[in-house]
């Protein structure tokens, strides 16, 4: 999981660097084009057209489109916001997933977890600090990207066990690549420098590798054990922002991140307690 989040940091770092010279939608296209090429090369020779066979095709399409929209929001936001800020906002995702589990999965969320979710949103207000200085509109896109990522994870839960990981990876990269192609051609700017070409190649690789690492991790340990590792990304993102872009987050970004992380960890611990209690009643 540490390697997965390091790769996800690589995606955002490449996107932020490329956004300085290339249109954001073209960068989104490159991210999924590289991903689908690697997935196809790795799995199509052995599986053939079976790679396209999905039991929940509608959910696969919805999942891929949600991921594409979230990536587009995120890449546009990265052109204006430091990596540490976007990652801190992304830490709302576990809280959003908890809230979305009510309408999506019919789960019950008690008052303690609802309180933790509200505290987490207060942490985002600490980071953004509306009414204190200028609030950049890009943080709304970052928030939207986090919401899309949360819905994507909920849809992933829905299709879990229904389709193979390889099929899910193919749909999650092929559909965005095809959908973004005409938009990318409309705003096309050829990558010209060696650095741009290298970043274009790396962004697709990081996308594939990150998902592969996460998949392998989930085969070896339960999701409840792996969930807290998402918060290690603040280390990678802050370091990448400082070394590659010279971004130094102010103290309020870290204060807000601590509040959001604390809320997320409380929800995680609470869900583990409830899971153990339910398993105990079934013994």
Interval 250-263: pLDDT, tens = 888 888 888 888 88
CB count in 10 Å sphere of residue 6: 18
Give the range of the structural domain holding residue 267, as residue numbers without chain letter.
2-281
What is the CB-side half-sphere exposure of residue 250 using CA atoms within 13 A? 6
Least Cα distance to 216 among 51, 7, 22, 37 occurs for 7
Out of 6-10, 35-39, 104-108, 111-115, which region has the weakest mean confidence (pLDDT)?
104-108
| pLDDT for the residue 178 | 95
Is the pLDDT at 282 greater than 60? The verdict is no
- Angle between helical axes of 165-186 and 194-220 (0-180°, round to 10): 160
Of 159, 148, 169, 162, nearest to 100 by C-alpha is 148
Instruction: Provide the phi-psi class of 129: left if phi over 0, else alpha when psi is between -120 and 50, else beta.
Output: left
- On whether the CB atoms of residues 247 and 84 are closer than 8 A, the answer is yes
| Residue of 36, 14, 18, 35 lying closest to 207 (CA atoms) | 35
Q: In this predicted model, what pLDDT tens digit does every residue of 179-226 receive, in sequence order?
A: 999 999 999 999 989 999 999 999 999 998 988 888 788 777 766 677
Helices (H), 48-137: 57-78, 83-90, 93-105, 111-128
Judged by average pLDDT, the poorest of 197-201, 238-242, 272-276 is 272-276
134 has a pLDDT exceeding 70: no
As a whole number of Å, the end-to-end CA separation of the chain is 31
Q: Which of the four pLDDT bands, split at 50, 70 and 90, describes residue 117?
A: confident
Q: Give me the pLDDT at residue 275, please.
A: 65
- Listed in order, strand segments (DSSP E) in 123-213 are none
Q: What integer best gives the mean pLDDT of the chain?
A: 85
Entry pTM: 0.84
C-alpha–C-alpha distance, residues 167 and 42, integer Å: 12
Q: Is the pLDDT of residue 77 over 80?
A: yes
Alpha-carbon 17 to chain mean position:
18
pLDDT class of 65 with cuts at 50, 70, 90? very high
* pLDDT at residue number 70: 94
pLDDT in tens, 17-30: 999 899 999 999 99
Q: Structurally, how many domains does the chain consist of? A: 1
Q: Residue 63: which of 140, 173, 143 has the closest Cα?
A: 173
pLDDT at 283 over 60: no
Which residues neighbour 125 within 8 Å (Cβ) at sequence distance 6 or greater? Answer: 256
Strand ranges, E, within 147-230: none
């Amino acid at each position: 999981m540490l390697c997965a989040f390091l790769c996800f940091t690589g995606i955002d770092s490449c996107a932020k660097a490329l956004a300085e010279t290339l249109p954001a939608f073209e960068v989104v296209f490159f991210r999924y084009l590289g991903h689908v090429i690697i997935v196809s090369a790795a799995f199509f020779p052995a599986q053939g057209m079976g790679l396209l066979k999905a039991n929940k095709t509608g959910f696969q399409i919805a999942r891929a489109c949600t991921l594409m929209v979230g990536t587009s929001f995120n890449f546009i936001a990265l052109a204006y916001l430091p990596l540490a800020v976007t990652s801190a906002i992304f830490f709302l995702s576990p809280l959003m997933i908890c809230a979305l589990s009510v309408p999506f999965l019919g789960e019950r969320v008690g008052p303690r977890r609802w309180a933790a979710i509200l505290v987490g949103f207060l942490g985002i207000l600490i980071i953004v600090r509306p009414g204190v200085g200028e609030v950049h509109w890009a943080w709304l896109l970052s928030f939207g990207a986090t919401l899309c990522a949360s819905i994507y994870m909920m849809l992933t839960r829905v299709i879990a066990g229904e389709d193979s990981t390889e099929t899910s990876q193919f749909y999650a990269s092929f559909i965005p690549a095809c959908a973004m192609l005409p938009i990318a051609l409309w705003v096309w700017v050829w990558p010209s420098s060696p650095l741009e070409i290298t970043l274009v190649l790396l962004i697709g690789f990081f996308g594939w590798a990150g998902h592969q690492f996460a998949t392998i991790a989930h085969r070896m340990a339960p999701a409840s054990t792996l969930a807290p590792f998402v918060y290690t990304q603040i280390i990678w993102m802050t370091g990448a922002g400082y070394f590659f872009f010279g971004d130094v987050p102010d103290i309020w970004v870290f204060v807000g991140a601590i509040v959001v992380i604390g809320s997320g960890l409380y929800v995680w611990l609470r869900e583990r307690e409830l899971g153990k209690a339910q398993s105990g009643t079934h013994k």
